[in-house]
Structure 1
């Protein structure tokens, strides 16, 4: 099924040479440490904390409205160390979700109002249901669906999940269109 067009006022987004679409109403701190690999969407009110450590986001990934990407940290004897946050390709991060994970694997979906604790690792093809809280250092195996607070595995995804997520994220990008009349 084809997605309907999602329009936005052209002046509200900056489009980079790599095709990234970043809302002017998002907050990117430490932009020299934020790498968007191409055709990514960062929506309004999102916060990317590149001032703490590097954030890498793979191609065709979408960061929805109000999401926060915050690199994980570890408290040492007299300081705090931050670790890079790696988001794979074809990933969707839902609205108002907080991600402090170490890694979100490619072809994964993270729902609305989720919290991914420090040092969590989501392997490829994971699905995190809305309102799920993953405790720190949770490792989510490939093709697993997690839900609840604390997040627990509830079922497995079919083998075609990678293809479906690839198709969905590319279609979402294709139908996210600037409207010059707004």
Structure 2
């Protein structure tokens, strides 16, 4: 695994984070336990990913923006699987989001400051609006926009909105590369 200056990588309970070499992890992040981060994904400044009681899986080209908190829940009586946090490919998670024990399918979008709770599901190409709270067990269908506290469906997303989300994903892959180079240069590393 590539060295990650300024990143706190913490093994716990015999599990260590598994981070693809091409992923950008910004200084100031803390990544704990059973976390898997896929190729070309990016975890931005001051995020916490804590997989001490279950697992967190992040696919390829997904991004978790500055100050976001990701966690999961352990198995319990009547719930032998617990609530792992599973994030697909090409997912956008906005700044200061709280993502807890849910599933976000490929190309899902979580807006700034939004909350997604245990066993909720964000479908492919769906968007949870900024500031929204997706309560436990709620399921967003593909291509739907949900908003509010608690979040409720507003409308289906049109092709332009879907294209905009895909452009955002591509931007974060490129921006992650630029920040990786800038961090390496700032630390005097020729990488």
Q: Tell me if TM exceeds 0.5.
A: yes
Q: CA RMSD in A?
A: 2.6
Gap runs ≥5 in structure 1: 1-9
- CA deviations on 1:32-61 (whole Å, 9 max, x unpaired) are x11111111111221111212111111111
- CA deviations on 1:107-153 (whole Å, 9 max, x unpaired) are 11101111111110111111111110111100000000011111011
Cα deviation for residue 76 of structure 1 reads 2.5
Output the CA distance in 2 between the equivalents of 1:173 and 1:13: 19
Q: Which residue of 2 aligns with 1:63?
A: 64
Question: After the TM superposition, which residues 84-99 of structure 1 pair with which residues of structure 2 at under 5 Å, given as runs?
Answer: 84-99=84-99
SS of the equivalent of 2:22 reads coil
Task: Please report the TM-score for the alignment, with normalisation by the length of structure 2.
Answer: 0.77
Gap runs ≥5 in structure 2: 9-18
Choose which of 32, 42, 47 in structure 2 pairs with 1:29.
32
Q: Which stretches of structure 1, 4 residues or longer, exceed 6 Å deviation after superposition?
A: none
Output the CA distance in 2 between the equivalents of 1:146 and 1:167: 20
**Which of structures 1 and 2 has the larger relative contact order (alpha carbons within 8 angstroms, sep 6+)?**
1
- CA deviations on 1:63-96 (whole Å, 9 max, x unpaired) are 011111111456438x996332110111111111
